[in-house]
Amino acid sequence: MRYLTLYKYFLRFSFTKAMEFRLDFFFRIVMDIIYYAVNILFFHVIYLHTPMLAGWTQDQMIIFIAGYLLCDALNMTIFSNNVWWLPQFINRGDLDYYLIRPVSPLFFLSLREFAANSFVNLFVAIGFFIYALTQYQTPFEWYQLTFYLLMLFNGVLLQFCIQLLFVLPTFWIQSQRGLLDFFYAISFAGERPDRIYKGIVRILFTYVVPLSLIASYPARLFMDPFDSWTLIQFIGITIVFWGIVLTIWKKGLRSYSSASS
């Protein structure tokens, strides 16, 4: 309850801050919409030259795109800004201010900034998701949709965990950005359907850095016959990754010297 109240204050503060820079707020909304448009256009251009991609027709692909745009919007709204600043706090020694507060520092640092502009774009992503469902030719049951949404939310949490795993090495390496740039480069792989990957690359993006589990596998779970075992595995993997994050976070805090570099 205490954490919920605190999160309410985070929200209030974030919206107030966003409204102070209204032009920037507006620009950020437009920027995200252009990002969505570029992604949609990319697949549209590809489907001008092929009827199928990775075993999916265009309307199936739109379901996948809508899924990952929804994941992206949620991640951008809730976590992304916070993860962006975390390596700098560690590197400059600003983490001290968060360690002395009577709340979990990981909670505070992960959720303190709510991206108000991305929240607006979340509605755009939801709108596109609904459009994708209306374009989808195959009939589906409501429970399939519910599980798809549940899996996408699980994907957002998994993405957050993976992102943190690229940031936490900042405790040991002298870098202002951690491996965040590398994460942004690699996360691009999750924006493509998993079936295009083969061999070791497929293993890499499914088990080692499970970017395919964020949006691609959930889309498959929605379109293929439902498999409860896969669903359980998804959630299990997210829990394992969260456990790894917590372990490294604790080890990192023990190594944290507070002095800026």
Which token pair is 54?
């990775």
Q: How far is the CB of 201 from other proteins (least distance, A)?
A: 6
Q: Which is nearer to other proteins, 147 or 194 (CB)?
A: 194
Least distance in angstroms from the C-beta of 2 to other proteins: 34
Query: 3-state DSSP call for residue 53?
Result: strand
CB nearer to other proteins: pick between 192 and 220 = 192
Per the listing, tokens 């040991």 go with: 172
Q: Which two tokens stand for residue 155?
A: 């994907």
Q: How far is the CB of 102 from other proteins (least distance, A)?
A: 31
Quick one: CA dihedral 98, 107, 233, 138, positive or negative? Answer: negative
Binding site for other proteins (CB under 8 A): 21, 23-24, 27-28, 30-31, 34-35, 38, 41-42, 45-46, 48-54, 173, 175, 177, 179, 181-182, 185-186, 188-189, 192, 195-198, 201
Beta carbon of residue 41, minimum distance to other proteins (angstroms, whole number):
7
Closest CA to 196 of 57, 58, 54: 54
Q: How far is the CB of 149 from other proteins (least distance, A)?
A: 26
Which is closer to other proteins, CB of 41 or CB of 145?
Answer: 41
DSSP for 160-212 reads HHHHHHHHGGGGTS--SSTTHHHHHHHHGGGGS-GGG--HHHHHIIIIIS-GG
Cβ closest to other proteins, residue 200 vs residue 259: 200
Q: Which is nearer to other proteins, 126 or 186 (CB)?
A: 186
Task: Tell me whether residue 147 or residue 171 sits nearer to other proteins (CB atom).
Answer: 171
Q: How far is the CB of 37 from other proteins (least distance, A)?
A: 9
Q: Provide the sign of the torsion angle of the four alpha carbons 208, 213, 216, 221, taken in this order.
A: positive
Long-range CB pairs of 104-108, under 8 A, 24+ apart, other chains included: 104/3, 105/253, 106/246, 106/249, 107/3, 108/6
